[in-house]
Amino acid sequence: MARPARRFRRGAADWIERWQSEWHKESGAHWAVVDSYSNLLLGRIGLKSIDLYDGTAELVYWMTASARGHGVCSNSVIAVARWAFSEMTFNRIELEHSVDNAVSCRVAGRAGFQLEGTRRRSARHADGWHDMHVHSMIRGESNAG
């Protein structure tokens, strides 16, 4: 049986390989969020389910505990949305989170994403099925660039 640290490194390497593959297939784009002074990892942000024909993608993110509450996530969401709309000429970006995740709901709102509705029991988490809030930003809206 592999030690936990070894399993974690192998799992992280698998994620990175998958994310690089998505970049090459133009189906996803993922970035590490790091502190500009210390180079410490603060989180991850990305676009998945990219559809270049329709100009759509889903924005995803997570932050470390030390990055939370400092605007890092909201600023990262704004930066990626601006890049997607200005450099990649996307039309629409969606963001979804569990209805139980009030922090992600605030991040979406601060970044300028509009709440569209709720997808019932649409995501399976470790503790069971969750209803998911769906937010979106359309090209030309407030922070969309």
Task: Please give the average pLDDT of every successive group of 10 residues along the chain, which has 145 residues.
Answer: 54 56 65 87 91 94 87 92 91 96 94 96 94 96 64
Residue at 137: amino acid letter: M
Under DSSP, is residue 52 helix (H, G, I), strand (E, B) or coil?
Answer: coil
Return the exposure string of 31-40: e unless at least 16 CB atoms fall within 10 Å of the residue's CB, then b.
bebeeeeeee
Q: Is the pTM of this model over 0.75?
A: yes
- Hey, CA dihedral for 41, 42, 43, 47, is it positive or negative? negative
